[in-house]
Amino acid sequence: MRLIAFVNDQGRPALGARVDADHLLDLTAAGAPATLDEVLRQGEAGFAELRRTLDRATRRVPLAGLRWLPPVADPAKAFAIGLNYLDHAAESNFEPPKYPVVFQRYRSSWVAHEQPLVRPRVSTQFDYEAELVAVIGKGGRHIAPERALEHVAGYSIFNDGSIRDWQLRTNQWLLGKNFDASGSFGPEFVTADELPEGAKGLRVQCRLNGQVLQDANTRDMIFDVATLVSTCSSAMALQPGDIIITGTPSGVGMARKPPVWMKAGDVCEVEVEKVGVLRNPVVDEAA
């Protein structure tokens, strides 16, 4: 299934299933929960009921003009992974990590598909990062790598927008990775059974105003999805709805000569093969 979180015509959150390139079926109108978060908390039974709801849903909603929401409304934890592609580590002048580099993104730092990314007043160094997202469906602690994919319900896309001068002022990246509305998450959630195991072998691109600036493949990750799930679960119990933002490949703006920074009027697209295209305009922070 390909699930979309959106605002319905009553102004309330709703959950839909994409049925073609231009429409979704409103599952909430047919009795399903209003958020993917609730379905994830219900586990396999929740998805089984959602499939039954899909069979009886009748209300088609056009995607044109849709007000999108992030696929997971309120993840308890959003792990982000740094330097997870060899070429990106090299262009960033870091040694390839021996262990996953993990930091946190907060909910206030991202917007949904088609919503504006905000370049802050305090910096012009607004960079893009194309990333695959793994969404946890089954919680657990100390999850073995060979069982880790059983805990992944599906996948989505993230633009890990970064304010580089703030990120690199110290060796703690948190501030530069968490400016309000600097990243994006979406457009939809794709169940794991729709993709290759571990989402391996998928092309990842970032395009700025139509120009391809990042072009790689998830098979090039240093630490694959299973390893990341296992590592994060070693430190803290994973919960349904937690997300792991799996890292970006080379081609980021700060490594280009001259650097390429996102600015007001730009449109940034992140595409992951078989998952979708996450698109956002860029605006300046209001005065």
Confidence (pLDDT) at 170: 94
Tokens for 199?
Answer: 């989402």
The rounded distance, in Å, linking the Cα atoms of 97 and 70 is: 30
Q: Is the peptide bond before 258 cis (omega within 30 degrees of 0)?
A: yes
Measured CA to CA, the distance from residue 240 to residue 12 in angstroms comes to: 23
Quick check: helix, strand or coil at residue 10?
A: coil
pLDDT for 92: 81
Q: Tens of pLDDT along 12-54? A: 999 999 999 999 999 999 999 999 999 999 999 999 999 999 9
**Gyration radius of the chain's alpha carbons:** 18
- pLDDT tens for residues 210-256? 999 999 999 999 999 999 999 999 999 999 999 999 999 999 999 99
Q: What percent of the chain has pLDDT over 70?
A: 100
Over residues 136-182, the pLDDT tens digits come to: 999 999 999 999 999 999 999 999 999 999 999 999 999 999 999 99
The predicted pLDDT at position 88 comes to 86
Q: Rounded CA gap, 146 and 143, in Å?
A: 8
CA–CA gap between residue 74 and residue 182 (Å, rounded): 17
Question: Which pair of tokens denotes residue 19?
Answer: 């049925």
Domains of the chain: 2-62 (no CATH), 78-284 (3.90.850.10)
At 262, the pLDDT band (50, 70, 90 cuts) reads very high
Q: What is the dihedral of CA 167, 247, 282, 5, to 10 degrees?
A: -130
Residues 60-105: tens digit of each pLDDT: 999 999 999 999 999 999 999 999 998 888 888 888 899 999 999 9
Residue 54, classed as helix, strand or coil, is helix
Structure confidence by residue, pLDDT tens digits, 108-144: 999 999 999 999 999 999 999 999 999 999 999 999 9
Whole-number Å distance between alpha carbons of 124 and 37: 35
Instruction: Return the closest-CA partner of residue 130 out of 184, 188, 86.
Output: 184
Beta strands at 183-191 and 152-159: parallel, antiparallel or unpaired: antiparallel
What does each C-alpha distance from 80 to 30, 48, 228 come to in angstroms? 35, 30, 10
Residue 224 amino acid letter: D
